[in-house]
Amino acid sequence: MFLKRRELLILKSLMLADKGIRISYLTNKFKVSERMIRYDIDNINYFLKSINAFIDKDRNGNFILNIKEEDIAKLKEEINNFAVTDVYLTEEDRFNYIIIKLLTANNPITISSIAEELYVSRSSLNKTMKKVYEWFDEQGIDVISKTNYGILLNCSENKWRKAVIKLSNNKEHRGYFYSLLHKASNDSDDNYLNPTNYILPLYKEALFDEEDLYKIIDSISYLEDLLETKFDDSSYVSLLIHLAIAMKRLKKGNKILMSDEQLEQLKNEDEYSVSKSFAKYLNTIFDIDIPDEEIGYITIHLMGARRFFILANDDKELREVVIKIIDNVQKILNKSIDNKYIDDLIKDLTVHLKPAISRLKNSLMIENPILGTIKGKYMDIFSAVEKSCFIIKEKYYIENIPDDEIAYITMHIGASLEKSRVIKSKKIKAITMCASGLGTSKMLSSRIQREFPMIEIIGEISIFDASRYRKADVIISTIDTYIKTEIPIIRVTPLLDNKDIKKIEDFLDIKRVVPNYEILGDLDNKIDIIVKAAKDNSTDLDEIKFKDDLYKILINNNNTGEEILPMLSELIDEKRISFYDAKNWEDAVREAGRLLVNTKCAKNGYVDKMVDTVKELGSYIVITKGIALPHARPEDGALKVAMSLVILNNPINFGNKNNDPVKAVFGLCAVDNHTHLRALSDLGKFAVNEDNFSTLVSLKSKKEISKYIKQICEESDKNE
């Protein structure tokens, strides 16, 4: 007996629920009828017979799991022991399954055997196999495929390990390691963070020895003592993965290579002597000789790791670089960071950049999980940081700085810019918990303080400290976790969207500082009425300048002195909506810009700058599947904050392989780096909800589109 994917998800939801689950919740979550849910419940109950458990209904008619306390462990074991063929696998599951099988194969594997293991036909694997070949090609690994022979990988040990690390950066796989850290540090029985990953058992059994992982966790504690420091969670997990792979491969006699020149350079670093002592310690634990090359790669990880308690004040040279970057960013943005925050920013950014520069010199990549969001929401700051990175390149002879690293710097500087506008309060004490490091924590903290002046952020912690921390009223976390702690935990996203704000409001029974949007109503119409009245009483009125000044006054102030951020529906007028046959991506962007220019929201040159921005920074403007958000800088000709919408009659490719083709182009005209943020948040309701987006692009008139956008914007968060 086995369960389908949806049935297993329903069962796990019931296991985790504190109270009964409504059938309407399940139908909405899985997009199926009530009858299908009832069929699923029947199948689950048939499965639960062997465990003396069953799904019942409470007095309100909600589903509950009826199981004895002593049988819970048995049920968890049954679920964790599900073979990969016991459940329906998604396309992504099949992809990961095949990648793991090929990485661990000693002999050729046939597609027929893979299809048989996955309970699918050979033809249904064609699409998946194409992605598999492309993935290995990106890693520089040759896939040898011959008729009557099968498939086998041909690559060096270095490339093999790089591929495994790439696979391990999968969110679900890294979640497994985070769960290990929590289990090791809190003696918890919880052994997974996300209970819906069916590839995980194969992944960890094929590539790692779980017993060794706990030894490595203890060993890293010894390493932290040697360094007199603590790694942040993300760097800790990266080092754990690297060491786990290395130990297993060394046991099999697979050694990694490094050039003599690079190794000699690393031997001059302080971290090398620490790595050498650590290697001797590993030798006593695993009874394995650690070659110099392995010590070299451990050194690179230590140099590139982000640590919590590093004192970087003695690095005067790097501090000067940081000060120059901050000054240049402020100059580009024409904004100043408050003096009371500048010292902390210099210190934090120096701490961040010290390992970052080592990563860049050694081509050690780091992934920023919210890179796309940073680019979309904080484009002005990101662009200013990117232009300021020449200071790092010239000083340290670095040719290229990836966007992921630029985004982390953006988060530090952006957090200080946000703080400079925050009114502080001390009513509720909170701490933030993030896995992505200090930059994420700082950005989250500043967003919380801006939206909730009554919340005081008293610190940022890692997952290790969560169960022992008792100084706060609440933990606000960006980590998916089931940690048990005396302090309640609120799970949010790093940039705190509207849904997160509502969650904090409900949980803490408070209200964010919000403007009264009804004061302005339809901004364009009101401004037009005022301009017409002024023209009737003046013969030499500069209409464009007057309208611009008036718009800025109304958009930045209300009768309480609070900032007003307009909704998406207020920025997209029917005059700025079109249905268009675009020749290519540039033509589509120019149409979006033309609508802004024609309605006197931007100068003519703004359109060219929108196109130039795409050419300069790439197709990141395709923010999600089917949606592009072209824009330029405020000084490039923006007259007032506004947005346009171009519905493409024929979808166009922008060069973004993940999100092409584009069906809707939202042109953005911003007068600063924050007034449009509410509208971008509203845009997210179409970006993350396929039904909303499908309905939007199916509408046939401008009036219908305008009405629908307003309807979605006005929906409460509980109906999102």
As a whole number of angstroms, the distance between CA 447 and CA 476 comes to: 12
As a whole number of angstroms, the distance between CA 186 and CA 86 comes to: 32
According to DSSP, the residues that pair with 460 across neighbouring strands are 432
As a whole number of angstroms, the distance between CA 651 and CA 653 comes to: 7
User: Residue 635 to residues 158, 281, 670: CA-CA distances in angstroms?
Assistant: 47, 58, 9
| Amino acid type, 17 | A
Q: Which residues of 607-630 are buried (b: 16+ CB within 10 A; e: fewer)?
A: bebbbebbeeeebbbbbbebbbbb
Long-range pairs for 602-607: beta carbons < 8 A, 24 or more residues apart: 602/637, 602/638, 602/639, 602/642, 602/669, 603/637, 603/638, 603/639, 604/637, 605/636, 605/637, 606/632, 606/636, 606/637, 606/638, 606/669
**DSSP state, 17?**
-
Of 418, 599, 626, 605, residue with least CA distance to 523 = 599
Count other Cβ atoms within 10 Å, centred on residue 305.
23
Question: Does residue 631 have an active-site annotation?
Answer: yes
Give me the phi and psi of 365, to 5 degrees please: -80, 150
Of 53, 54, 65, residue with least CA distance to 20 = 65
> Please, are residues 451 and 512 in contact by the beta-carbon 8 Å criterion?
yes
Give the residue carrying structure tokens 């934090």: 348
As a whole number of angstroms, the distance between CA 328 and CA 323 comes to: 9
As a whole number of angstroms, the distance between CA 591 and CA 597 comes to: 10
> Please, are residues 418 and 447 in contact by the beta-carbon 8 Å criterion?
yes
As a whole number of angstroms, the distance between CA 141 and CA 136 comes to: 5
User: Residue 633 to residues 383, 406, 594: CA-CA distances in angstroms?
Assistant: 9, 18, 16
- The SS3 call for residue 262 is helix
CA angle at 262 for the pair 257 and 266, rounded to the nearest 5°? 110
Which of 182, 352, 631, 676 does the annotation list as catalytic?
631
As a whole number of angstroms, the distance between CA 81 and CA 120 comes to: 21
As a whole number of angstroms, the distance between CA 343 and CA 346 comes to: 5
Long-range pairs for 488-495: beta carbons < 8 A, 24 or more residues apart: 489/433, 492/444, 493/370, 494/369, 494/370, 494/373, 494/434, 494/436, 494/440, 494/443, 494/444, 495/370, 495/373, 495/374, 495/377, 495/443, 495/444, 495/447
Count other Cβ atoms within 10 Å, centred on residue 314.
7
The residues assigned a catalytic role are 631
